[in-house]
Amino acid sequence: NEPQDGLGDGDTSPDWTEPVIDQINGIITLKLRSERSGRGNGRIYTITITAGDASGNRSQANVEIKVPHDQRKK
């Protein structure tokens, strides 16, 4: 919901790393940048995961990760 190279993220991209998949345990790991624009409500990442097997069966799930706006008192 924020530009990849916008304010608050140090004008750097990408804001995530390539996923690492543990084929034995089924664990998917990736790193996300927690920075967000101070002018917005926070950053939301939506990660879509699709899995398939040799028989052609497929399943998809979405995971939403929220980086809230700074809640410190000013």
Say which amino acid occupies 32.
L
pLDDT at residue 67, rounded to an integer:
81
User: Given the structure tokens 């926070």, which residue do they identify?
Assistant: 42
User: Given the structure tokens 């799930």, which residue do they identify?
Assistant: 61
* All structural domains of the chain with their residue ranges: 20-68
Strands 27-29 and 20-22: antiparallel
Contact between residue 37 and residue 8 where contact means Cβ atoms under 8 Å apart:
yes
Q: 40-72, pLDDT tens digit by residue?
A: 777 888 999 998 999 999 999 999 998 887 666
